[in-house]
Amino acid sequence: MLAAADLVCCSKLICFHDDEALARCEIASFRYRVLHMAARLTRPGRVTSLRLDRKWSWAKQLALAFTRLRAAFA
């Protein structure tokens, strides 16, 4: 359980540092807003893509977060 909490805290620091609402929210709120988002993994050809639901309130923030996470570990 502590490892999961550490991963969530790290992702909040790396990915959501400019969005105050997501960076400082409680774990239950973060789980609802980010981790429970409707998404689909697709693999056309050799490229894996994550398709996010555009109607979700925090879709833009999550897309930006994935971009930052990819840049942090590239």
Per-residue pLDDT tens, the chain, 74 aa: give them: 678 888 888 888 888 888 888 888 888 888 888 888 888 889 988 888 888 888 888 888 888 988 888 888 87
pLDDT reported for residue 42:
92
Tell whether pTM > 0.85.
Answer: no
How many domains in the chain?
1
pLDDT of residue 49: 86
Count the neighbouring beta carbons within 10 Å of the beta carbon of residue 64.
14
Question: What is the reported pLDDT for 4?
Answer: 83
DSSP structural state of residue 35: I
Domain span at residue 61 reads 2-72
Which secondary structure element, helix H or strand E, spans residue 14, and what is its range? helix 2-15
